Amino acid sequence: MTSRSSNARHTLPAALLLLLGGCWQIGTGVQALATGGYFTAPDGYSFAFSIAAWGWVHLIVGVVAAAVGVALFRGGSTARLLGLALASASLIANFLWLPIEPLWSVALIGLDVVVIWSLATAGGRLAIRFDDGADRT
pLDDT in tens, 119-132: 888 776 554 454 55
Q: pLDDT digits over 41-72, tens only?
A: 677 776 666 778 878 988 998 999 899 988 88
CA angle 86, 91, 106 (to 5 degrees): 140
Q: How confident is the prediction for the chain on average, in pLDDT?
A: 79
Largest alpha-carbon pair distance within the chain?
61
Average of per-residue pLDDT across 110-120: 90
Are 30 and 55 a contacting pair, CB within 8 Å? yes
Q: What is the DSSP letter of 25?
A: H
Would residue 41 be called left, alpha or beta, if left means φ above 0 and alpha means ψ between -120 and 50 degrees? beta
pLDDT level of residue 110 (50, 70, 90 thresholds): very high
